[in-house]
């Protein structure tokens, strides 16, 4: 048994999978909380999972849910982690308008349940647990300051963002009231080939690959004018870990410091395969939100200075990385880049026939 033992909620998500990889690479034993589902949903972590009967296994999964406090307590007692990363969430902003009560229960109350369990566990055992809360730039919402930093006031604009603000302040409250080593990361949007397909970046790159493959003709999107500070998820999970390695618990903005619109994302993505996105993208109002967050741009100065954290990839590099991954998944790389769309289809057909 290693003393470096971490518990991760949301381990099946984009960030949970990258964080687990990172922790395993760094000698941790990793425990993740998964929800029971009728079909397997562990695709993102299957490559690092090993039969727990093997002596070499260092990744363990436990059934639980942030809406179920008793189970959270039981898992904490069983696992006895020294670091906890609370990444579990109903994380889709648009969906949070459809399911506000559930979203707030999982995101807001879920964090409180975990903090309460840690508080009691720490009091009883004397073991200090380090806690990371996955905060969001959505908390800045209708921004009152540009760029946004740790001291910028919040103005949340969705049930999801309101719940994240609640979780943020509870994390600070438990730090100040009970001396927990509890930290907030305020992470701006971060993407990757593992991003869920209903978030706009992956929706675009996934659809683009299907368009190139002749499997889809149109892509329906909502507001193309919103601007986001988009980074690479793999860089952002490293920041989570760094936040918990500091001498003192604190809160940090993690961002690239650049902002781009959905249109710019479309330009670069479709430009990669020499297509004009305006020929394919159509508007559908169902993807609009009752209240929109128009502009997000973070100031990562504190993270740079105190954590020594830097993003490793720029916006264009990120878009290309995601486009390439989706093209590759459909067997369209390296063919796609320099060919006209008709030629790609022909070459692919020939390749499949061989
Ligand atoms: P994600 O891909 O949507 O993953 C969310 C994870 O939470 C999944 O493992 C999901 O499990 C789990 N989950 C959902 N409801 C749960 C519940 N009631 N109890 C326990 N687990 C639950 O999200 P992500 O992009 O990795 O983001 C990770 C965290 O960072 C989230 O808290 C998100 O709100 C926050 N965040 C994300 C970004 C970003 O740009 N990605 C930026 C700022 C903050 P299933 O697989 O079973 O659904
Ligand atoms: N999802 C989606 N689908 N968004 C669209 C679409 C569409 O078809 N068309 C336009 N958009 C716009 C949204 O209106 C929003 O302004 C922007 O694209 C980004 O939407 P998402 O990719 O869904 O991300 P988000 O910014 O709302 O939320 C993500 O980032 C937050 C951090 O700022 C999520 O990962 C949150 O969990 C995270 O906290």
Q: Which of 28, 160, 166, 232 is catalytic?
A: 160
The alpha carbon of 321 and the centre of ligand 1 are apart by a number of angstroms equal to 22
Q: Return the residue whose CA atom lies nearest to atom 14 of ligand 1.
A: 89
Q: Is the pLDDT of residue 335 over 80?
A: no
Q: Return the residue whose CA atom lies nearest to atom 31 of ligand 2.
A: 189
Residue 191 catalytic?
A: no
| pTM of the predicted protein model | 0.96
Q: What is the pLDDT of residues 215-236, one digit of tens each?
A: 999 999 999 999 999 999 999 9
Ligand 2 atom closest to Cα of residue 220? 8
Q: Quick one: DSSP state of residue 35?
A: -
Question: Residues 183-199: what's their mean pLDDT?
Answer: 98
Phi and psi dihedrals of 287, rounded to 5?
-95, 5
Residue 20 catalytic?
A: no
91 CB less than 6 Å from ligand 1? yes
Q: Which of 91, 136, 158, 192 is catalytic?
A: 136
Task: Reply yes or no: is the peptide bond before residue 334 cis, omega within 30 of 0.
Answer: yes
Q: What is the pLDDT of residues 34-92, one digit of tens each?
A: 999 999 999 999 999 999 999 999 999 999 999 999 999 999 999 999 999 999 999 99
Q: Which fold has domain 5-193+230-254?
A: Rossmann fold (3.40.50)
pLDDT for 333: 86
Ligand 2 atom closest to Cα of residue 221? 8
pLDDT for 285: 98
Q: What is the pLDDT of residues 129-154, one digit of tens each?
A: 999 999 999 999 999 999 999 999 99
Q: Which of 21, 138, 191, 324 is catalytic?
A: 138
pLDDT for 97: 98
Q: Quick one: DSSP state of residue 148?
A: B
Domain map (residue ranges) of the chain: 5-193+230-254, 200-226+259-294+313-353
Mean residue pLDDT of the chain comes to 95
Nearest partner of 329 among 233, 203, 193, judged by Cα: 193
158 CB less than 6 Å from ligand 1? no
Distance of CA 325 to the CA centre of its chain: 17
Q: CB neighbours of 313 closer than 8 A, spacing ≥ 6?
A: 231, 232, 235, 321
Q: Is the pLDDT of residue 350 over 90?
A: no
Q: Return the residue whose CA atom lies nearest to atom 12 of ligand 2.
A: 223
Domains 5-193+230-254 and 200-226+259-294+313-353 share a fold: no
Higher pLDDT, 339 or 208: 208
The alpha carbon of 336 and the centre of ligand 2 are apart by a number of angstroms equal to 27
Residue 287 catalytic?
A: no
Q: Return the residue whose CA atom lies nearest to atom 15 of ligand 2.
A: 226
Q: What is the pLDDT of residues 236-276, one digit of tens each?
A: 999 999 999 999 999 999 999 999 999 999 999 999 999 99
Percent of the chain with pLDDT over 90: 93
- How far is 300 from 83, CA to CA, in rounded Å? 24
Q: What angle do CA 8, 43, 241 make, to 5 degrees?
A: 30
Q: CB neighbours of 218 closer than 8 A, spacing ≥ 6?
A: 280, 281, 282
CATH 3.90.25.10 fits 200-226+259-294+313-353, yes or no: yes
């Amino acid at each position: 048994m290693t003393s470096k033992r971490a518990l991760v909620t949301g381990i099946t998500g984009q960030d949970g999978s990258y964080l687990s990889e990172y922790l395993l690479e760094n000698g941790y034993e990793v425990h993740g909380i998964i929800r029971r589902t009728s079909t397997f949903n562990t695709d993102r972590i299957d490559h690092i999972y090993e039969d727990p009967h093997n002596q070499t296994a260092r990744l363990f999964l436990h059934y639980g849910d942030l809406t179920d406090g008793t189970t959270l307590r039981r898992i904490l007692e069983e696992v006895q982690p020294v670091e906890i990363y609370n990444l579990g969430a109903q994380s889709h902003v648009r969906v949070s308008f459809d399911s506000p009560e559930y979203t707030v229960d999982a995101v807001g109350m879920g964090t409180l349940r975990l903090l309460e369990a840690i508080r009691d566990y720490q009091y009883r055992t004397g073991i200090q647990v380090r806690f990371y809360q996955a905060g969001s730039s959505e908390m800045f919402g209708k921004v009152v300051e540009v760029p946004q930093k740790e001291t910028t006031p919040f103005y949340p604009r969705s049930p999801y963002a309101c719940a994240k603000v609640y979780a943020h302040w509870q994390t600070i409250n438990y730090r100040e009231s009970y001396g927990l080593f509890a930290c907030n990361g305020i992470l701006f949007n971060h993407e990757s080939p593992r991003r869920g397909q209903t978030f706009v970046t992956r929706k675009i790159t996934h659809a683009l690959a299907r368009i190139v493959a002749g499997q889809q003709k149109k892509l329906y999107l909502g507001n193309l004018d919103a601007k986001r500070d988009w980074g690479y998820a793999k860089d952002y999970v490293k920041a989570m870990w760094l936040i918990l390695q500091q001498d003192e618990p604190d809160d940090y903005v993690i961002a690239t410091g650049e902002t781009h619109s959905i249109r710019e994302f479309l330009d670069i993505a479709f430009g990669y395969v020499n297509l004009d996105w305006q020929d394919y993208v159509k508007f559908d109002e169902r993807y609009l939100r009752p209240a929109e967050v128009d502009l997000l741009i973070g100031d990562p100065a504190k993270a740079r200075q105190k954590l020594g954290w830097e993003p490793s990839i720029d916006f264009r590099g990120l878009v290309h990385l995601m486009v390439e991954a989706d093209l590759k998944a459909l067997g369209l790389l390296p063919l796609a880049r320099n060919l006209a769309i008709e030629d790609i289809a022909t070459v692919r057909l020939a390749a499949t026939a061989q």
